Amino acid sequence: MLYVLSKITRKYGSRTVLDIPLMEIEKGKIYALLGPNGAGKTTLLNILGFLEAPATGDIFYHSTPVSFFESYLQNLRREVVMIDQHPILFTSTVYKNVEFGLRIRGISQKKRGIIIEETLDLVGMSDFIQAQAHRLSGGETQRVALARALAVSPEVLLCDEPTSNLDVENQAAIINTLKQINEQRKITIMFTTHYIYQVSSLAHHAFFLDQGKLTTAQAERFKLCR
């Protein structure tokens, strides 16, 4: 198993926003995470991305228990990349944005250039390589954010509502890219969504969260949909 979450809880003040007795995530699969607003989907992604620590419980990544110390987490974060629901690009060029993760990993300039061109090509944004990132549309921003994440060859990609507020064309482009990278690079993907058709067309498995708890009744509905 890639991830095992055991008795995980997360609280904001006195409110428990996440309470997961057991969750297992297999390597190389695509997982959908469904649930109403405020169900705890983003919190769960933050925990899986090692950006937030759970209040209680254990996380095992590659069967190794995760300790939430900054120096330890940095190495883990280099394997797991999260893309926000409304990703933000650095106020620089598209090239510099995609380069960021590669530069901090000490990859040579020549190799960086090749990777950046490849990943921008993958998301259909190679024509924008020298464009100012803050001048891009919502769909283009989402695609560059995806390229920026893919450039660092993550083992896990966490996408928080990757197609929300996008037109049909951009939605299809994002979905196709996610499918492609899972098939070709065996990247494990977890994405949150409200669209059941995305779950059935993209995900191998689905989790349903309601008030911070995983529910099984709707999982059955997902199987019927498929």
Q: Give the footprint of another protein on this chain (CB under 8 A).
A: 49, 51, 70, 74, 77-78, 80-82, 84, 86-88, 90-91, 100-101, 104-105, 134, 148-149, 152
Query: What is the C-alpha to C-alpha distance for residues 26 and 207, in angstroms, rounded to an integer?
Result: 13
Checking 24-29 for CB contacts under 8 A at 24+ apart, the result is: 25/1, 25/188, 25/190, 26/1, 26/2, 26/188, 26/205, 27/1, 27/2, 27/155, 27/186, 27/188, 28/182, 28/186, 28/187, 28/188, 29/182, 29/188, 29/189, 29/204, 29/205
Which is nearer to another protein, 164 or 215 (by Cβ)?
164
Q: How many CB atoms lie within 10 A of CB 152?
A: 18
Q: How far is the CB of 132 from another protein (least distance, A)?
A: 8
Q: How far is the CB of 84 from another protein (least distance, A)?
A: 6
Phi, psi of 80, deg, nearest 5:
-125, 120
Q: In the complex, what is the shortest distance from the CB of residue 69 to another protein, in angstroms, rounded to a whole number?
A: 12
Nearer to another protein, 75 or 216 (CB): 75
Give the pair of three-digit tokens for residue 134: 């803050």
Cβ closest to another protein, residue 123 vs residue 199: 123
Smallest distance, another protein to C-beta of residue 29, A:
21
Residue 2 vs 81, nearer CB to another protein: 81
Question: How many C-beta atoms lie closer than 10 Å to residue 143's C-beta?
Answer: 26
Minimum distance, C-beta of residue 136 to another protein, in the bound complex (Å)? 12
